[in-house]
Structure 1
Amino acid sequence: MPVLKHFKRVFTDWFLCGMVLATFLAYLFPAFGSTGGAMHAEWVINIGVFLVFFLHGVNLSSEQIRHGLKNLRLHLMVQGFTFVVFPLIWLGADLLMGSHVPPLLMLGFFYLCALPSTISSSVALTGSAGGNVPAAILNASLSSVLGIFLTPLLVSVVVGSGTGGIDLGATLLDLCALLLLPLVLGQLVRPLFGRFFARHKRYTSIVDKLVILLLVYAAFCNSMVSGMWQQQGSSVILSAFVGSAVLLAVILWMTTRTARALHFSTPDEIAAVFCASKKSLAAGAPMAALIFGANPGLGLILLPIMIYHPLQLIVCSVMAENYASRRRQAADPLIPNAPAAPMP
């Protein structure tokens, strides 16, 4: 079955298996990766995050971004869904069900809703589905940069700033130093080293994923040391899974219907749906460490995005094949329709 093929692809992905392993190791060896532990996670992770965003800057093509600057309506839709519609959906859910969900998990869902879109998977899926790749590159990249400022700003609205909340000014300075500065430096050295890093882009992706795994391990180590997971029942994981699945289904339905109501071409619709529905674990993990610091509840705050990440890959991979199949059928009516999952 086509859907089972996508599940198999996800479960054999070393990175997703690594996330499971990282949480298991945090259960076995929590002291090693906790703040002040022998791993010195706070220093190792900061260096890794700086390196990752420097590599993103080197690999970010300004030519492709300029080429994607044409469709303003598409860009407004993607950024509007990413930073406005997602938080509004959370607000409605919080009013209806907030009293029945653990506060830290509810905060985790808001953090998921406030995150920027992904770059790599949005562009890859848009390309495989036959969508507008330059527009996807522009929107995913723009979302990542905007997220450095908008994500902590949105979080501060919910948790407050100053005493009892987050120090917004210090957080923005830290994010600029660890995320924006390396992106700019990467762009500056791109004319000299861009081709070299392009030839070794596979290793850039590996470094990116290893740093995320370190962040996940450190976050769960702090949660284990604090005793937070011992205080939560297994129902919290089920709640996170159900909430993430419902959120993904709602946002895919809304983005698809909005793109069609705006009369986007099929390539623009594909780019809009895939970019506007994604949330970035690659940006979310390091930003969470800076926004929430050594909060012992960080593992629970990260849980929704850790579940949403593989879910979006599975569902959007099926949708990409559905789009590609329809495109092939339109190009050659003699090609039989391949079995495809229904559109949301």
Structure 2
Amino acid sequence: MSTLRRFLPDNFTLCLIATVIMASVLPCRGITANAFGLLTDVAIALLFFLHGAKLSRDAVVAGLTNWRLHLTVLASTFVLFPVLGLLLKPVLSPLVTPSLYVGILFLCTLPSTVQSSIAFTSIARGNVSAAVCSASASSLLGIVITPLLTGLVLQAHGQGAMSWEAVGEIVLQLFVPFVAGQISQRWIGGWVTRHRPLIGFVDQGSILLVVYTAFSAAVLQGLWKHLPLPVLGGLLIVNAVLLAAALLITRYGSRALGFDREDEITIVFCGSKKSLASGVPMAKVLFSTHALGMIVLPIMLFHQMQLMTCAVLARRYAERASVNSRKANGVTKIAVTE
């Protein structure tokens, strides 16, 4: 039962599924859609403000000394994934529709997660302080890097360059609230830290709002008519290939670069993840409403897939560490006895 429980979706994933079903049955339109759109914009701005107020500058500065590890994680997040998305296009794109593959390429440009990267690194007994720094830096830099990288990747994909207007909207709606939160940290940082459930509520609530409005517009445009089950199966395969490639490359690449076991764990879990919390709000700003459903669907599926896979992988790392620890203790006892 414990093994089966690892593969079951969490409560938030169930809420995402329920939101998609609700948007399919009762899509919002007209004045209601405009009201939901305005509410979503406010929720996204509040989300990034609270994340700015929560992020500890001391923790980031303390972890900056391990620069080789952080550069490796950032290279995996913002270089390896986009390269994989473009190089594997001839093999993977026939499995999905063109608009879904645009969503895959956008997925490849996203920053790493913060909470789950740190949590899995801790479970696997990796370098937690470095994970805090790497995941936080990835999330912060992604506000600027992701829209620019999306433009370059889509241009290479033949979709045309991302407009500077879209980049400006990202800065205005995401980066400015984040900076405002950082400035306000000295006054409200303690309060935000004590009320972490508030951030979780705003975090998940803003994502559910974007998903509802995005899928409502997509359903009204005939989403499910253009998305048969074989295409959904193809999307799962594409996501699985990208995740497996990232996990393997970060694992064996970190060993080839001479990192120890704890740093390897940090690189694997921080360098193979993509952030749903950052990706969905950014997609809303960067892409037109009618295309948004197809753009966020790969991110939603990848999110659940990475959680299930990394949960199992983190347990295996932890079990291996326990075995190694027992062996080391046994050797020490024998040496003391002799």
* TM-score, normalised via structure 2 length: 0.91
Determine which of 297, 301, 324 is the counterpart of 1:303: 297
Structure 2 vs 1, CA of residues 168 and 146 (structure 1 numbering), >3 Å: closer, same or farther? farther
Q: For the residues of structure 2 that align with 1:160 and 1:286, how far apart are their CA atoms? A: 21
1:222 aligns with 2:210: no
Following superposition, the deviation at residue 200 of structure 1 comes to 1.0
Determine which of 229, 233, 237 is the counterpart of 1:234: 229
Q: Which AA in structure 2 matches 1:329?
A: V
Q: Which AA in structure 2 matches 1:5?
A: R
Aligned to 1:342: none
Aligned to 1:318: 312
1:117 aligns with 2:112: yes
Aligned to 2:334: none
CA contact (8 A) 1:35 1:41 kept: no
CA contact (8 A) 2:152 2:162 kept: no
Q: For the residues of structure 2 that align with 1:182 and 1:279, how far apart are their CA atoms? A: 22
CA contact (8 A) 1:26 1:220 kept: yes
Structure 2 vs 1, CA of residues 268 and 97 (structure 1 numbering), >3 Å: closer, same or farther? closer
Q: For the residues of structure 2 that align with 1:262 and 1:36, how far apart are their CA atoms? A: 56
Aligned to 1:143: 138
Aligned to 1:22: 19
Q: For the residues of structure 2 that align with 1:266 and 1:38, how far apart are their CA atoms? A: 50
Per-residue deviation, residues 119-175 of structure 1 (Å, max 9, x unmatched): 1111111122211112111111111122222222222224449xx856521112111
Q: Which has the larger radius of gyration?
A: 2
Q: For the residues of structure 2 that align with 1:111 and 1:128, how far apart are their CA atoms? A: 29
Q: For the residues of structure 1 that align with 2:233 and 2:109, how far apart are their CA atoms? A: 22
Q: For the residues of structure 2 that align with 1:127 and 1:196, how far apart are their CA atoms? A: 25
Following superposition, the deviation at residue 101 of structure 1 comes to 3.0
Q: Which AA in structure 2 matches 1:19?
A: L
Following superposition, the deviation at residue 65 of structure 1 comes to 0.6
Q: For the residues of structure 2 that align with 1:335 and 1:206, how far apart are their CA atoms? A: 44
> What is the aligned-residue identity percentage?
39
Q: Which AA in structure 1 matches 2:299?
A: I
Q: For the residues of structure 2 that align with 1:145 and 1:275, how far apart are their CA atoms? A: 14
Following superposition, the deviation at residue 334 of structure 1 comes to 8.9
SS in 2 for 1:40: helix
- Which ranges of structure 1 fall in alignment gaps of 5 or more residues? 337-344
Structure 2 vs 1, CA of residues 334 and 85 (structure 1 numbering), >3 Å: closer, same or farther? closer
1:332 aligns with 2:329: no
Q: For the residues of structure 2 that align with 1:251 and 1:3, how far apart are their CA atoms? A: 24
Q: Which AA in structure 2 matches 1:226?
A: Q
Q: For the residues of structure 1 that align with 2:311 and 2:272, how far apart are their CA atoms? A: 13
Which region of structure 1 is more displaced relative to structure 2, 284-293 or 123-132? Answer: 123-132
CA contact (8 A) 1:166 1:292 kept: no
Structure 2 vs 1, CA of residues 269 and 158 (structure 1 numbering), >3 Å: closer, same or farther? closer
1:62 aligns with 2:69: no
Following superposition, the deviation at residue 96 of structure 1 comes to 3.0
Following superposition, the deviation at residue 279 of structure 1 comes to 0.1
CA contact (8 A) 2:43 2:206 kept: yes
- How many residue pairs get matched? 328
Which region of structure 1 is more displaced relative to structure 2, 114-123 or 38-47? Answer: 38-47
Q: Which AA in structure 2 matches 1:199?
A: R
Determine which of 185, 190, 215 is the counterpart of 1:190: 185
Q: For the residues of structure 1 that align with 2:17 and 2:95, how far apart are their CA atoms? A: 27
Aligned-residue CA RMSD in angstroms? 2.1
Q: For the residues of structure 2 that align with 1:282 and 1:44, how far apart are their CA atoms? A: 17
CA contact (8 A) 1:119 1:137 kept: yes
* TM-score, normalised via structure 1 length: 0.90
Per-residue deviation, residues 166-219 of structure 1 (Å, max 9, x unmatched): 652111211111111111111112122222111110221122011101111111
Q: Which AA in structure 2 matches 1:62?
A: R
Aligned to 1:340: none
In the TM superposition, 1:231-270 aligns within 5 A as: 231-270=226-265
Aligned to 2:201: 206
- Which ranges of structure 2 fall in alignment gaps of 5 or more residues? 331-338
CA contact (8 A) 1:26 1:224 kept: yes
Per-residue deviation, residues 240-295 of structure 1 (Å, max 9, x unmatched): 1111112111110111001111121111111111000000000000000000031x
Structure 2 vs 1, CA of residues 80 and 38 (structure 1 numbering), >3 Å: closer, same or farther? closer
Q: For the residues of structure 2 that align with 1:16 and 1:150, how far apart are their CA atoms? A: 27
Q: Which AA in structure 1 matches 2:25?
A: L
Q: For the residues of structure 2 that align with 1:153 and 1:188, how far apart are their CA atoms? A: 25
